[in-house]
Amino acid sequence: MLTTLLGLIGGVVAALIGAWAALRARRPQKSRVELVDVSLPPPDPAKDVRDDLPVLDVKVRNTGGQPAVVKRVVVHTHWAARLNSIWLTPYKPGFPRYIGARLDVSETYDVTLPAPEEATDGRITIDLSQVIAPGEADRFLVRLGRDSIHDTVAYLLHLELVYDADDRKVTSLPLAVAFPQRVLIESVEQIRSDIHSFQGEINEMRQAIDREMAARGRPITDWITAPPRHRDELPGGLLSVDGDGDPLSSGFRDCIYVVNENFWDPQRAIEHHLHTIEKRYRELVEVITPATVVHEVLRAALPSVHATLAQLPALHAEFCAPGKAINVRSPALTGDSEGTDQLARLLAKLRNLEELRARADSGDQKATHVLHLAIRLAKLLQDRGPDDPETLDARHRLAAWQGAEGDPAGAAAALAELLPDLLRVQGPDHPKALQARHFLARWRGDAGNAAGAVAAYAELFADRLRIQGPDH
């Protein structure tokens, strides 16, 4: 009896299991999204780098029995390395984010990546509306952007797709992406050249300060044994340090940059420069190494990064080892140099030179500008010669200042000396020659030579009528 009962129960259970299996087989299975591939197409050489944004090409497949609705993509940023140009110059010229934009027609979704400082463990979420039928595949693009494109940043990130009402997830492998799609890695030769250029700029700026100090009757700075370490150790109102207070009126010709902190301690600046390059290149390696999918531009840059890192210790020894302090001062304005003689002759022609120096020392921008103009003229004479157009123009402007400051006789004498050179170099019909003749006549009249001024204006009028016509 018991045996019969057990057999009956077993048969019922087997029938129930069979029925359940049949029902289950007839009922569609849940969706199941697989991430087939995430790739990074190479940059388009025909596009401007600002318009050619990196794009993640995402391919997915639904291996389940019901449609899948991919409703969100979360971009997880692990960290980032900044690779903008590292300038060495002695003068100045991660929290959650929800940013999304959907372009339904092209099935391209835009993501704004965070700044490098916010990229560690960052999350950027965008909404999607991708419906994938059972057994079907789909493809969409995630276009990456940033608020700023003034520098290059490499990101280590991965994607997370969220689908269906129960928020199931599928995750990509780690990716290394560069934005924008360019990576410029400096070789050791380029770094060495940058340092030499920096030393040359320091040299030129120190010479400019020496010339301006000489023009003011101040002692030349001892750049070797007692170099100034901050602005307060030099007199106020130096154009060669503080720049031109009125660049617009000077047409930017005589403008010079304001010095920055690198100027006061160039050795420390070089050490910091090399340290920054090493730090950024090692951070780039840390972004690329863990990634399974690596941007083509990053993969191509990696050998150069390793080569530069391997040679940086030698560069440190060359420029930063004890006893390698920079000696960038040249003998400008020492002894009987030609530049000093030229500057002395120019300044000797300026009336009330001591008053001019005192005004410059007190912060008078006009007086400072004139001293700088005289210094610049001396350098133009030395470097480019007396017939260079900029030299002739600087002489004209210095004469104009003399007249404007109440010395019309001095201005007339300077223009009378300049005019033969203008006629010889540029010709009698050149606009600069005509302009110089106009001001020569003016300053002669203001100096009391009315007859000479009238005669000069009459000759000039006849030539202007011939050259420019009566309707000019």
Q: Which of 142-146, 159-163, 254-258, 404-408 is the least confident region?
A: 254-258
Please tell me which residue, 237 or 163, carries the higher pLDDT value. Answer: 163
Contact 464, 472 (CB under 8 A): yes
Tell me what the mean pLDDT of segment 87-97 comes to: 55
State how far the Cα of 34 lies from the Cα of 36, in Å rounded to an integer: 6
Which residues are 341's β-sheet partners? Answer: none
State how far the Cα of 54 lies from the Cα of 60, in Å rounded to an integer: 19
Tell me what the mean pLDDT of segment 230-255 comes to: 64
Question: pLDDT tens digits, residue range 442-472?
Answer: 988 888 998 888 888 888 888 888 888 887 6
Contact 138, 132 (CB under 8 A): yes
What Å distances lie between residue 364 and 107, 347, 358, 368, CA to CA? 64, 18, 9, 6
Domain boundaries in the chain? 33-179, 183-380, 384-472
Contact 103, 109 (CB under 8 A): yes
pLDDT in the model for residue 253: 41
Within 8 A by CB and 6+ apart from 53, the residues are 143, 144, 145, 179, 180, 181
pLDDT in the model for residue 352: 56
End-to-end Cα distance, the chain: 132
Tell me what the mean pLDDT of segment 156-173 comes to: 93
pLDDT in the model for residue 379: 73
Please tell me which residue, 370 or 244, carries the higher pLDDT value. Answer: 370
Determine the residue type at 32.
R
Is residue 170's pLDDT more than 60?
Answer: yes
Determine the residue type at 230.
H
pLDDT in the model for residue 15: 63
8-state DSSP, 385: -
pLDDT in the model for residue 257: 58
Q: Which fold has domain 384-472?
A: 1.25.40
Is residue 19's pLDDT more than 80?
Answer: no
How, if at all, do strands 122-132 and 68-82 pair?
A: antiparallel
Within 8 A by CB and 6+ apart from 125, the residues are 72, 73, 74, 75, 96, 97, 98, 100
Is residue 417's pLDDT more than 80?
Answer: yes
Residues above pLDDT 70, as percent of the chain: 77
Please tell me which residue, 389 or 349, carries the higher pLDDT value. Answer: 389
Please tell me which residue, 175 or 22, carries the higher pLDDT value. Answer: 175
Structure tokens at 365: 């921008």
The pLDDT confidence band at residue 104, using thresholds 50, 70 and 90, is very low
Q: Selecting from 1.10.3470, 1.10.540, 3.90.550, 2.60.40, what CATH number does the domain 33-179 have?
A: 2.60.40
Matching residue, tokens 């000019």: 472
User: What does pTM read for this prediction?
Assistant: 0.63
| pLDDT, averaged across the chain | 78
Q: Which of 9-18, 295-304, 403-412 is the least confident region?
A: 9-18
Structure tokens at 389: 């157009």
Residue in 470, 388, 469, 403 with CA at minimum distance from that of residue 436: 403
Question: pLDDT tens digits, residue range 66-80?
Answer: 999 999 999 999 989
Query: Which pairs with CB-CB distance under 8 Å and at least 24 residues apart come from 184-191?
Result: 184/83, 184/85, 184/152, 185/281, 185/301, 185/304, 185/305, 185/308, 186/86, 186/277, 186/308, 187/304, 187/307, 187/308, 188/307, 188/308, 188/311, 188/312, 188/314, 188/315, 191/274, 191/277, 191/308, 191/315
Tell me what the mean pLDDT of segment 161-170 comes to: 93
Query: Which range is most confident: 2-6, 36-40, 250-254?
Result: 36-40
Matching residue, tokens 């420390």: 268
Contact 295, 174 (CB under 8 A): no
Determine the residue type at 452.
G
The pLDDT confidence band at residue 249, using thresholds 50, 70 and 90, is very low
Is residue 251's pLDDT more than 50?
Answer: no
pLDDT in the model for residue 258: 72
Tell me what the mean pLDDT of segment 408-417 comes to: 87
pLDDT in the model for residue 62: 93
Question: pLDDT tens digits, residue range 124-144?
Answer: 999 988 899 999 999 999 998
Q: Which residues of 60-72 are buried (b: 16+ CB within 10 A; e: fewer)?
A: bbbebeeebbbbe
pLDDT in the model for residue 28: 58
Within 8 A by CB and 6+ apart from 438, the residues are 457, 460
For the chain, helix, strand, coil in percent to 5 are 45, 20, 35
State how far the Cα of 270 lies from the Cα of 97, in Å rounded to an integer: 38
Tell me what the mean pLDDT of segment 32-54 comes to: 83
Question: pLDDT tens digits, residue range 325-380?
Answer: 555 444 444 443 444 455 555 555 555 556 667 777 777 766 776 776 777 777 77
State how far the Cα of 117 lies from the Cα of 79, in Å rounded to an integer: 9
Please tell me which residue, 299 or 15, carries the higher pLDDT value. Answer: 299
Helix (H, G, I), strand (E, B) or coil at 326: coil
Phi, psi of 39 (to 5 degrees): -125, 165
Contact 295, 43 (CB under 8 A): no
